[in-house]
A and B are shown apart, each in its own frame.
Chain A
Amino acid sequence: MILDAAAKALGVELVYVDQNHISEKVTASMETLAAAGCDGVIICNSSSAEMTSVINTANENKIYVAQFFRSINKESNPNEYQLAVSSPYYVGTVHEDEVDNGYQLAQVLAEKGYRKIALMGWEPGDATFLARWEGYKKGVEGWNKEHPNDLVELLEPQYGGTTSDTGRATAEAILSSNPDADALIVAGGGGDPLIGAIQAIEGLGKTGQIGVASTDFLHDLDVQLQKGAITVESGGHFADPLFAFMMVYNAVRGKYEVPTDGFYEIVFPYIFVSSSEDYANFQKYFIDELPYNEEEMKAMADYSFDQLKETAAKLSIEEVMQRHSEK
């Protein structure tokens, strides 16, 4: 929706290709768009290995490309990283700091008094989960360093898949195996495992007693917050692609010169919601209206990169409230 709004505001034609995070389809989708005569592409790839062919296709066809929700890790994918750095058509990346995301969630739970936190991932080895897990651990370590007499324990993860029934079964298993656990982080997996986990807690009669943290807002988050079924959720980062769009838009227009010894990078913040009030504001300023209106999007198109980066970094419920309630 936000991309459609931006495209409309700036007179850009958008073409969508869904590749469902299948590697070969990611590669093929880039070629499809190149053949369709696109000037620029923003892409959410499945794994970094795919970016080799994506960037090569971009180079060959002189198409500007940027990533959203994803980045290329310099340590684990050095070849792809180098290719991105040296490419005159790889504009850059907009991605979330999953480690910080995890850190924040763990901190919120600790601050709210939870001391034994169980953890449910969705698929072992998933890069996003591993990054978040690192963040949870850092959050707990950070808390414990400052509160040596009031320690928090983070359990080893179990994996609940991406469906609500497997999520529920795993959550039930975790909580019956750890009856003294007072919090559960459902790391992700598309929302269904979280729904299942909430049911599991309800089935055990412990709604409101076990703190639940997760990423990616549920559609009924406000209800769950009111019930006490969810303690804190991070999400609302659907505006991430907008910034990737802006980067590519400006690259195509020639406003942003794409370096061949680096690329543009924006770390996009998550929105954290831990109360009904928070959610109500999120609903109003992010769902009922977009966080950026047409005017703001047009202005954003003329920002320098540093201005764009700053705009992204400061995005929060309060920031949008300030911008839009003033008007």
Chain B
Amino acid sequence: MDDIILRAENICKSFGITKAVKNVSMSFRRGEIRGLIGENGSGKSTFCSMLCGIHTVDSGRFILDGEELKINSLVEANRKGISIIVQEMGTLPGLTVAENIFLGNEDRFIKCGIKNTAAMNQEADRLLEKYGFRHIRGNSMIDNYTFEDRKLVEIVRATYFDPKILVIDETTTALSQNGREELYKIMKRFREEGRTVIFISHDLSEVIEYTDTISVLRDGELIDTVDSDKVNEDDLKRLMVGRELKGRYYRTDYGEPVSDDVVLSVEGLTVPGEFEDVSFKLHKGEILGIGGLSDCGMHELGKAIFGASENRRDTVALADGTRINSICDAIKHNIAYTSKDRDNESVILNETIRNNICLPSLDKLAERGILRHKKLDRFAGKYADMIHVKMTGINQFVSSLSGGNKQKVVLARWLGRDFDIIVLDSPTRGIDVKVKADIYTLMYELKKKGKSIILISEEIQELMGMSDRILIMKDGIINGEILRSPDLSEEDFIAKMV
């Protein structure tokens, strides 16, 4: 049997004038786990979406098991033995777990138009048991499960029919450590069974650890394919950005004192069921990190500080005692917020970059209640350029931007508002290394200007690298405080997190 299961020959894809994939040719072996990395906009997701039938191929072809692949939908791809776990939410609320697993493939349970629901539920339960997800039941509504559990259901859906090729597209960022472990197990099983995995991730250490080979894309072109055990992160970063990324992209300063001026005071803050009795003070020009496991309550804390929690108790107050009780209060007093759920809570996908940037500033941009487009264009253009948003123009829709550029749009919006305090929740999630570096640089510049930042992150390295001080949360309470130091190690954090 030919060792090569899949060949991509001169694959090209354009979206309008943007060439997303340019003449990419690659081969994949049976039993291989191939990492696929690149900056946002490098073409890796587009390449995989063509392989899975979500997008059509402009030119070139895929050869699967010696036969040219001609597919027009994900279901057809599934039938050919190709499957994908997507980055965003890939299950449908309002349906049961079993219905989600077999969506589009119900025919095996249908006789004379009648669906054998009991058999479908039974089969779903058997699969969930096989995968070790015993707490998930086939006949339950998917709405009853957490985001992570729904991702697990997606994993089952994508893999239960033992596809020849499994594409995992930046899924691990959505999973807790347990969830990731399950996924790694599946990847290893695939390898052992001679199946192929294409693993897309921005976490370079993860890619190095769990893959056999790594292909690097840049600006739609294949740069190189390397053996995972022969490269390190810096090598990969160099391949991704095309130049040496000199030094580390985190802050390199240590020992700089933080101002004593308190800008924000949080006292006994509680959101029932999420976190309890959190108190701290934020100082001028300080980057205060908040870290912990994904369900420790820190993300909900970020929302609560911004006034976005419905049943929050006790206080968030500015230095002058002004209480922040709502989002309107927060914005009025120059507090900004970027959510972890970027696509649903930070950007309006079906709107232009201009409108997204201008949105919280419309009151100051309006002249006697009238908005002048030229003024909005200038305003948005200024801040988009300041932060180097990669775009075709200010009227480009945000939905067509990469994740990193969407995040830049969010930051540009708040720069336009000239915030004093910003709560950044997972600001570099799902973002490539180059944009991460840009964001870290921006954070440091803002700190130097006296802006105060609350950085909420699940990435310990990021917290260690960027924060003046870090609060560790566990099970909804503050479990420890660590000051910035070059001698910090991950173990210092883990001890307080778990």
Direct contact of A and B (CB under 8 A): no
